[in-house]
Structure 1
């Protein structure tokens, strides 16, 4: 099979976290194979509709809802829509005739991978978390290979073939030049993701005044999300002018990758995409894993803490006092801070999208040989 003949359908993006590696992989495929064909399948009305089309990637949508397994009504809605979504996916596969179907995680990929199995189209799965999500666990046996972001994922998928590729990151983040390490840590970036994280927000606002008073050259940039934006803005406004100028607050930054690259230390949750981008930029981290959604972020944290790139704080323990103590410990120890940055850089896999593309092309070639 010639590279220019490869047709790939990528399904995923039920959430923004799942969409980031899906879109990064689609863009990498386009760069590697400009004459090939790439289509992303997302949920009708979901986040993919704007982001994928803005990136110039062809988008198809399915009428499928998310599922909360703790809510019987949510499960019922998903089960009702699944047969229809699978039929729609089969029609799409028959029209496109992809060489490979890629499942990017999340509930959106379930009907598409099910349709691919029925039509004997080879499947590659991508898993961004250390402990695989429900969709990956359900579909792994039917995949030719699962591209993993963490080495530990392999033991949770004993009956599947796995390849450690890393988690694909956005090309605009990969292209960034991270700020050089100077004499010590003076720039802290705090984020709870696009929606914010109340625990992190309240801990940060509870200690920011004391931190700025204690460290006259400290700059704090805080993405707080919309939920707490009024509270965080009020805290910033109440600071004395000399401190307020060193505390930059917004509900959301469009250039979050650049903000991360410019930081000396990042305080955040432990989603797979955020960890992949932060480590690709070689930034030290204080991580507060999200305690819900099966606790998967606690698994994500482990290799970064063990590797010396991060400090972890349990969500319930993330008080202003604890967060200030962890930040202060890094600000006061330049050698430790530089060591954390180097460890983060070693753990980063900025070429993950290219590795996933190579895997997709390998599966396409193997399938073409078998069916020739």
Structure 2
């Protein structure tokens, strides 16, 4: 009998790529002889990150629609047709047992073609408010793994399984890594550490906020790890100092999480899931520039259970310094937020998703 074969597609941002890699890693543990192929969007970060994780990847000529009339938008129908044809060729050649989509531009045409060819498909929806691609794909999908409850209004109830979002396994037990993290990151063990996460590409408004408040934050005796994103690194690297580390991208997320005392973060689905497992006090600053404002909904699901604080972008100038200073001074508040957010973690998510995939293997 030939080894099992899996095609995975997820990309555009780390929030789609890392869940796909986590799922592949879990399937590889179960089936060491299995063959894996990733499909991504040409020129997106998955074309670098997936090979770094040890998997082969093929690219589709696909991109999202812009919000205004552009040449790219006029090319969109041609890109979709080209991506469907290439997806058909990839599937015919690789002959997968199951095709798995974790979101991103490439997953749409790939899973659509898999459905047309009668290959079992699994959707992994990370957000509390699904995007239009997954809503459309869900009609033909065999299984839909979701991170939030009450998504019946978007997906067929009988296909859904609440699994949580896959996270990197090295985040499961960071409690014992603090000393290693302090040494690795060359931090002062006597100072509190603020970790600022704006996503792999960066978040302009978060970066502007930190730039404005940096002097005040450092004056409070706080050291800062500021992940500004690759789009903004050249602009902000001048703030590197003995108390501030400005980085474009973080490779050892386990160590920066272990070192952090308080975290400021966007509220992408994967980030929220990771932060639940990490169990540190968090101030969410959701991006308002995403479909259906889903980051605010993601953050609110945690805030409503008293697991984090949330500030909207329009509140930052008036409220941030007050909220941040109060949180840094209140050890009891920090402990309560940590306890509450950790209670919402779903550390077995990757295994549960793999269980659903295995059920579909013919």
**Residues 1:335 and 1:185: Cα distance change in structure 2 (over 3 Å):** farther
Greater shift after overlay, 337-346 or 93-102? 93-102
1:96-116 Cα offsets, whole Å, 9 max, x none, are: 222211112122011111211
Tell me, in whole angstroms, the C-alpha distance in 1 between the residues paired with 2:231 and 2:89: 40
- Pair 1:265–1:125, CA change in 2 (3 A): same
The question of whether the paired residues in 1 share the 8 Å contact of 2:6 and 2:35 is answered with yes
Counterpart Cα distance in 2 of 1:247 and 1:173: 23
d(CA) in 1 for partners of 2:350, 2:127: 15
Residue in structure 2 matching 1:8, options 6, 9, 25:
6
Provide Cα deviations, 1:285-329, integer angstroms capped at 9, x if missing partner.
10000001221111111111012221111112122x522211122
Asked whether the 8 Å contact 2:128–2:298 carries over to 1, the reply is: yes
Measure, in 2, the Cα distance between the counterparts of 1:314 and 1:348: 23
Residue aligned with 1:153, SS? coil
Q: CA deviation at 1:161?
A: 2.0
CA contact (8 A) 2:41 2:105 kept: no
Q: Give CA deviations for 1:190-236 in whole Å, capped at 9, x if unaligned.
A: 121222222222222322322333x33x32221223454455444x4
Contact in 2 for aligned 1:105/1:127 (Cα 8 Å): yes
Which moves more between the two structures, 192-201 or 128-137?
Answer: 192-201
What SS does the aligned partner of 2:65 have?
A: coil
Q: Contact conserved, 2:13 with 2:200, CA < 8 A, in 1?
A: no
1:41-120 alignment runs, 5 A limit:
41-68=39-66, 70-71=68-69, 73-120=71-118
Equivalent in 168, 172, 187 of residue 193 of structure 2? 187
**Counterpart for residue 28 of structure 2:** 30
Q: How does 1:237-276 map to 2 (within 5 A)?
A: 245-276=242-273
Alpha-carbon distance change, 8 to 346 in structure 1, aligned in 2, over 3 angstroms: same
Deviations 1:16-47 (A, max 9, x none): 32112111111111112112222111122322
**Do structure 1's residue 318 and structure 2's residue 324 form an aligned pair?**
no
Displacement, 1:337?
0.8
How much has 1:360 moved relative to structure 2?
Answer: 0.3
Preserved contact between residue 330 and residue 336 of structure 1 (Cα < 8 Å): yes
Structure 2 SS opposite 1:156? coil
| Structure 1 CA distance for aligned equivalents of residues 168 and 77 of structure 2 | 33
Distance (whole Å) between structure 2 residues aligned to residue 296 and residue 280 of structure 1? 20
TM-score scaled to structure 2, two decimals? 0.88
Distance in 2 between residues matched to 1:178 and 1:136, nearest whole Å: 38
Are the equivalent residues in 2 in contact too, given 1:10–1:40 (CA < 8 A)? yes
| Counterpart selection for 2:214 from 208, 212, 235 | 208
In structure 2, the CA distance between the partners of 1:227 and 1:95, relative to structure 1 (3 Å rule), is closer
Q: CA deviation at 1:80?
A: 1.0
CA distance in 1, matches of 2:55, 2:289: 33
Partner of 1:307: 305
Q: Aligned residue for 2:205?
A: 199
User: Do 1:128 and 1:167's aligned partners in 2 also have CA atoms closer than 8 Å?
Assistant: yes
Relative to structure 1, the CA distance from residue 8 to residue 16 in structure 2 (aligned partners, 3 Å threshold; closer, same or farther) is same
TM-superposed deviation, 1:148: 0.8
Separation in structure 2 between the aligned mates of residue 309 and residue 96 of structure 1, nearest angstrom? 44
- Partner Cα distance (2:8, 2:216) in 1: 48
Task: For 2:212 and 2:357, locate their aligned partners in 1 and report how far apart those are by CA, in whole Å.
Answer: 47
Contact 1:132/1:156 (CA < 8 Å) preserved in 2?
yes
> What is the CA–CA distance in structure 2 between the aligned matches of 1:164 and 1:176, rounded to whole Å?
25
Distance in 2 of aligned mates of 1:109 and 1:127: 12
**Structure 1-normalised TM-score?**
0.86
Task: Quote the residue 2:38 is aligned against.
Answer: 40
CA RMSD of aligned residues (A): 2.4
CA distance in 1, matches of 2:344, 2:69: 37
Q: Distance in 2 between matches of 1:47 and 1:160?
A: 34
- Following superposition, the deviation at residue 72 of structure 1 comes to 5.9
Unaligned runs of 5+ in 1: 238-243
Q: Is the 8 Å Cα contact of residues 139 and 156 (structure 2) preserved in structure 1?
A: no
Is the counterpart of residue 221 in structure 1 residue 218 in structure 2? no
